[in-house]
Amino acid sequence: NAGVMQNPRHLVRRRGQEARLRCSPMKGHSHVYWYRQLPEEGLKFMVYLQKENIIDESGMPKERFSAEFPKEGPSILRIQQVVRGDSAAYFCASSPLLAGFLAKNIQYFGAGTRLSVL
């Protein structure tokens, strides 16, 4: 399967616990993006990463949320001390290496992780 892989597909946490969401990009892709979809709302950008670098985290809440994309292994979105408002579907997308400010960019999405906070 050459698609974007996310796991787990479903994650249940109690308030105050930590949630770790994993994303393996498509083969050959070096850019990863995380989006959040709250119930009855559209997809909202959270963070954009390349290997070992956070490029744009303008959509990330300032507290409790962090993301990484290490040299080896999947990208991780980490939510500390979860609250009920964190319940949402979290989607990861990936795109290939780009060059130039006008480089064409198509993002391919995974199936998402649905986080439920009790």
Give the one residue of 20, 45, 68, 87 binding another protein; rule: CB under 8 A: 45
SS3 86: helix
Span from 11-19, 61-69, 72-80, 100-108 in contact with another protein (CB under 8 A): 100-108
CA angle 77, 49, 9 (to 5 degrees): 35
Span from 12-20, 54-62, 64-72, 73-81 in contact with another protein (CB under 8 A): 54-62
Strands 10-13, 113-117: pairing is: parallel
Give the one residue of 33, 75, 77, 115 binding another protein; rule: CB under 8 A: 33
DSSP secondary structure, 52-73, as one string: TEEEE-TTS-SSSEEEE--SSS
Residues that bind another protein (CB under 8 A): 4, 6, 31, 33, 35, 41-45, 48, 55-56, 58-59, 91, 93, 95, 98, 100-112
